[in-house]
Chain A
Amino acid sequence: MASDYQYEPKYSLTKWLDTRLPLIRFTSEHVLQFPTPKNLNYFWTFGFILTMCLVTQIITGIILAMHYAPTTLNAFDSIEHIMRNVNYGWLIRYMHSNGASMFFLAVFIHMFRGLYYGSYKEPREVIWILGCIIYFLMIMTAFMGYVLPWGQMSFWAATVIINLVGALPIIGDTLTQLLLGGFAVDNPTLNRFFSLHYLLPFIIFGVVLLHIWALHVPGNNNPIGISVQGKQDTVSFHPYYTIKDFFAYTVFLVLFCYFIFYNPNILGHADNYIEADPMVTPAHIVPEWYLLPFYAILRAVPDKLTGVLLMFGSIAVLFFLPWLDSAKVRSARYRPIYKYFFVLFFIDCLMLGYLGGVVPEGIYLLLSRICTIYYFAFFFVVMPLLSRFETTKPIPIGISNPTLSKDILTAE
């Protein structure tokens, strides 16, 4: 949708630049003037929040890398050096570790927004898939980053997860050795994880640019799921959404700063303050909280290979979402049955997260299995069935027009 305002360079310098590299024009069209639906709620602010999380992690990460030593002999001590000696080192370290948790909190809210309002549906399938790629890259980055402090959990979580690769038939053992750089998690593993942990965020950044580019083709979805019909439905991104996004970010910062300054270790595990010892296994090996649901799915099944396949499958299934749910109505506001199953799915994910942190025995194991079954059933059974058989509520005609479609029908 073209807006009234067209960028016109006023000064000789900006005219010169505009014909060679239209940076300002691009910023004007895609950031400042970009027509955005005027009815977006606060769930739509998480895209900006996520961008700020990525920037925060990159900046604090680059600074930490100035002081960190990626060898098994020195890694743990170098982190303590950062915490005790480097000016504001403790602050930058806690920003980075708690920033990772905040990053995942924001991405979960962002993804659940997409699931609820049908942001993955036609024509936004590629935006969704790019988002799944970003999510997967985030998980890889976080997993490798957690190994770097070389604490007990760092070492043993790495050992457990990389050994899962061994479950793959034929190529399993060779692939495991390739990833490890040896026969067990050791210096080669640590070194390569450091290199890749530094690299991946910049790849994430590139995919984020693609994600936003793909978004700017159809424009944003909105809470009622009806496409934008004209200028009356939109406002310019700046200042309305720049300011609103920034406001949401400051609220987000309050939670972030609570963790950094008052409870910086509550989301972590005490065992990671013990230096890694290949000869001693911790009583309970657990990953960070944002990986617990996947850990629960992994351990729900007794067979190692099936557990691995289901664990990766639980992420893979997201990529196919636009084709599993082909219902025409986008927003769950007007899909009462879907909404019910969605709430169950949300609770299911919370349950899986809790179950990932306890020993999988007795009632916990049974619950893990039920929750894993529902997780996959939501995608493979509920969604396709609802696409065919759900009777949706009448949807409004337009964003600016409160008339419901059914009123038009009965009026005719």
Chain B
Amino acid sequence: MINNFKIYYFISISSLLFSLFLPVNLIGASEKTYENIKPGFSFEGPMGTFDRAQLRRGYQVYREVCASCHSMKQLSFRNLVQPGGPEYTEADAKVFAADYTIIDGFDDYGDPIERSRILSDSFPSPFENKEAAKASNNGAYPPDLSLIVKARSGGYNYIYSLLQGYSLVTPTNLELSDSLSFNPWFPGSGIAMIQPLYDESVEYEDGTTPTIDQMSKDVTAFLAWASEPEMEERKRLGFIVMSFLIIFVLLMYFTTRRLWSEVH
């Protein structure tokens, strides 16, 4: 006799599994925008890791292009040295830090003391405060980039698509305010940020050809690391934990079955 409840097992488990694969943007569905381009990154997938050289190129793009408007308050120069990221040497990261100053304490007259930044200091902000940032950018606040990949539902594919999306020609029938640039990946198709990357905006230290596409990929990878610096460690631990659990589940299954074989 078939136990009827098995059907409900099936329904409940399959609907739960189905819901796992619902596209994320169904929850809080937004207006239709272009599908994000998926160029493929080394850190995708359960075994993905960052490409150190790419992260370094990405940091160079951030520092030379983006940092003039975008802060990254959650990052410190020592993060550039730690494992799992660009992994610069301490000496190199100290040089990056020393390019900037910071107010640290007050002297005997009550005046602020300004000194060079060191590894333990955070990345500098280009503006004193949010209002100054807005004033310099037509009233639009350039968001802090520390978490930008996690803070956008399209993730790193959205960031990449946005960055290389300026190359599209503005359609003639579209009314856009003067202060906005056409970018169909941005909700509303008009973005306040002017095109940030042009071919050869940056001269890469490792000699890679700096096309818009290359720089978009590199800085996206860097931003993905900045949002999730623990990613490599997380996936590494995940592998160990899942392997352990699979074996443990099997052991528990056989234990349970052996134990219950005496009942009835």
Contacts and interface: CB of A to CB of B under 8 A. Distances in A.
Report A-B touching, CB under 8 Å: yes
Residue of A84, A112, A262, A271 most packed against chain B (CB within 10 A): A84
B147 A346 contact: no
A58 B259 CA distance: 32
A246 B252 contact: yes
Interface stretch (B24-32, B35-43, B94-102, B103-111): B24-32
A397 to B, nearest CB: 16
Contacts of B11: 343, 346
B150 A270 contact: yes
Contact of A358 (B8, B29, B256): B29
B238 A265 contact: no
Interface stretch (A25-33, A197-205, A248-256, A315-323): A248-256
A116 B234 CA distance: 39
Contact of A91 (B150, B237, B248): B237
Interface SS majority for chain A: helix
Given A243-B252, A257-B245, 5 more contacts: A38-B264, A251-B249, A258-B242, A273-B151, A357-B28
B121 to A, nearest CB: 14
B164 interface: no
B12 interface: yes
A131 interface: no
A242 to B, nearest CB: 10
A266 B12 contact: no
Interface in A272-305: 273-274, 283-284, 286, 289, 292
Interface SS majority for chain B: helix
Interface string A352-368: 00100111000000000
Contact of A239 (B20, B147, B241, B259): B259
Contact of A346 (B4, B12, B146, B263): B12
Contacts of A339: 4
A283 B152 CA distance: 12
- A-B pairs, top 5 by smallest CB distance, nearest first, are A261-B238, A273-B151, A247-B252, A284-B28, A357-B27
Interface of B: 3-5, 8, 11-12, 15-16, 19-20, 24, 26-30, 46, 73-74, 79, 143, 146-147, 150-153, 187, 227, 229-230, 234-235, 237-238, 241-242, 245-246, 248-249, 252-253, 255-256, 259-260, 263-264
Contacts of B74: 77, 80, 84
A233 to B, nearest CB: 11
Nearest to A263: B20
24 contacts: A38-B264, A84-B74, A223-B5, A235-B263, A243-B256, A243-B259, A246-B252, A247-B256, A250-B245, A250-B252, A253-B245, A254-B245, A254-B249, A257-B241, A260-B238, A261-B235, A261-B237, A261-B241, A261-B242, A273-B150, A343-B11, A346-B8, A354-B26, A358-B29
